[in-house]
Amino acid sequence: MQHHKDNLFTCFREDHKVLGSGFHRLSERLRAADTAGACTVAQWLDAAAGPHIAFEEEAFYPRLVPLFGRQQADRMYDEHRQGLAVIRALINHKTAEPLDRTVCAELLEQSEIMEAHIADCAELFEAMGRIPIAEQQELHRRLLAWRQRQPTWTRYAEERHDAAS
């Protein structure tokens, strides 16, 4: 167990706290049918979540496949896609224009899936503990590198998609 303050665990926990409360606020705004508020939170989340999502998808999830199995990893990627969909819909929405009730309900569902995904991180921490320390340190460096680059979630997803196609 590492005892200095800044390691993969602490960074990860910190990110999850920030993103968890962000998606919680987003769900609240959607429940209140506060379109402007939801759009504002989505803009903030797009920026705040980018480095963490990029790190998880590029470095962390691939490393978890041998520990978790492909199916579980695929589910986590899919939950990210739900979160991305709600962010993308809201950052492209005119703040002053109320959301259609059906659209709002769909977005709320996606936001709640992402909220649950973030809250359900105990198994991630457990798996992280099974990764050798030297590798954890390397993953930590990669997380910090993503934080320095500061991609928004939507830009990261576009670049990843472009690279894949």
pLDDT band at 3 (very low <50, low <70, confident <90, very high): very low
Domain ranges (residues) in the chain:
14-159
pTM as predicted:
0.92
Give yes or no for a contact between 49 and 22, defined as CB atoms under 8 angstroms apart: yes
Backbone φ and ψ for 152, nearest 5 degrees, come out as -75, 160
DSSP string, 75-110: HHHHHHHHHHHHHHHHHTS-TTSPPPHHHHHHHHHH
Residues 67-89: tens digit of each pLDDT:
888 999 999 999 999 999 999 99
Angle between helices 35-55 and 153-164 (to 10 degrees): 50
**Residue in the block written with tokens 């999830």:** 61
